[in-house]
C-alpha cells in the first residue's frame, strides 16, 4: 500500500530560526514528490517538485531534498518568518496513473 | 496566474439536504478534482474529471456525485447530506493528467452538516 508519513506532526520555532520537516514514503514505482504549503483557511500551494533524478530543489528560503534510495525527503526552511506558519504537505506520485498520495502534513508555527 | 474559485467559503446545511459545491477555473485546464480534507486524514480524492462530461471515481466517492457540463466548471453534489460529510472540500485543476502537472487548488469550502 502506498503510504506517505510526515514528521513531526507539529512544530513551534522562533522567528529567524531554521527548521527541517521530514517525509518518508513507500510509494512505488516512484514518479515525483511535491511539497505543498497550506495557509490556514486556504488551498495548498506547490513549493517544489522533484523527480527521481533530482536530489535537491530550492524555492527561495525553502530547500527540498530527496533520497530515492531510502525513500526520504526533507523540506528545510531557512531564516523562518511569521508568514511561514502553515501546514506543509508532502505529496508523492507513483509512476502510473493519476493518483497523488498525500501525507497528513506538518503544522508549523513561527513565533515572534 | 491560475485561479480556481469555489462558490462558498463556509456552508451550513441540514441532514438530508441536497448540497451543491461549485468550482470554476480560468486557465482552460483539462483536469479538475474534488478532495475532502479532514484533521488527521489529509486530503482524499472524491472524484476527478479529465474532460467535459467525463468523470472518474476517486478513493471515497460514496455519497457524492459530480457534474462537468462546461470545461471551466466542476460541481460536487451531495445527494442527501449526512453529518459525516462535514469537512473541508477542496477543488483543484491541472493542465494535464500526469502527476508531473501541478494541481492548483481553490480556497476550499468548509461544509458543516447539522
Q: CA-CA distance, B40 to A61, in Å (whole number)?
A: 27
Q: How many CB atoms lie within 10 A of CB A68?
A: 16
> Cα angle vertex A74, ends A86, A93, to 5°?
90
Average pLDDT over residues A48-58: 92
User: Residue B99 is nearest to which of A41, A43, A98, comparing CB atoms?
Assistant: A98
Q: Look at A49 and B100 and tell me if their CB atoms are within 8 Å.
A: yes
pLDDT recorded at residue B30? 92
Of the residues B43, B58, B89, the best mutation for testing chain A's interface (the one with the most A CB atoms within 10 Å of its CB) is B43
Return left, alpha or beta for B107; rule: phi > 0 is left, psi -120 to 50 is alpha, else beta. alpha
**CA closest to A51 among chain B residues:** B100
pLDDT tens digit at each of 114 positions of chain B: 669 999 999 999 999 999 999 999 999 999 999 999 998 888 999 999 999 988 999 999 999 999 999 999 999 999 999 999 999 999 999 988 777 788 999 999 999 999
Q: Which triple of cell numbers denotes residue A68?
A: 530515492
Amino acid at each position: 500500500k502506498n503510504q506517505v508519513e510526515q514528521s513531526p506532526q507539529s512544530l513551534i520555532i522562533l522567528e529567524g530560526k531554521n527548521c527541517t520537516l521530514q517525509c518518508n514514503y513507500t510509494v512505488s514505482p516512484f514518479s515525483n514528490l511535491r511539497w505543498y504549503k497550506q495557509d490556514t483557511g486556504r488551498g495548498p500551494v506547490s513549493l517544489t517538485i522533484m523527480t527521481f533524478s533530482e536530489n535537491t530543489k530550492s524555492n527561495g528560503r525553502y530547500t527540498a531534498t530527496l533520497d530515492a534510495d531510502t525513500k526520504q525527503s526533507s523540506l528545510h526552511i531557512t531564516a523562518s518568518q511569521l508568514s511561514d506558519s502553515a501546514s506543509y504537505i508532502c505529496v508523492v506520485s507513483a509512476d502510473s496513473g493519476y493518483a497523488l498520495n498525500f501525507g497528513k502534513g506538518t503544522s508549523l508555527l513561527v513565533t515572534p | 496566474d491560475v485561479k480556481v474559485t469555489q462558490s462558498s467559503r463556509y456552508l451550513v446545511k441540514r441532514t438530508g439536504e441536497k448540497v451543491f459545491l461549485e468550482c470554476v477555473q480560468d486557465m482552460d485546464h483539462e483536469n479538475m478534482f474534488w478532495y475532502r480534507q479532514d484533521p488527521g486524514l489529509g486530503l482524499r480524492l472524491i472524484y476527478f474529471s479529465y474532460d467535459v462530461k467525463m468523470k472518474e471515481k476517486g478513493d471515497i466517492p460514496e455519497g457524492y456525485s459530480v457534474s462537468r457540463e462546461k470545461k471551466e466548471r466542476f460541481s460536487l453534489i451531495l445527494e442527501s447530506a449526512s453529518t459525516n460529510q462535514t469537512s473541508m472540500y477542496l477543488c483543484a485543476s491541472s493542465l494535464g493528467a500526469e502527476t508531473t502537472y501541478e494541481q492548483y487548488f481553490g480556497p476550499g469550502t468548509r461544509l458543516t452538516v447539522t
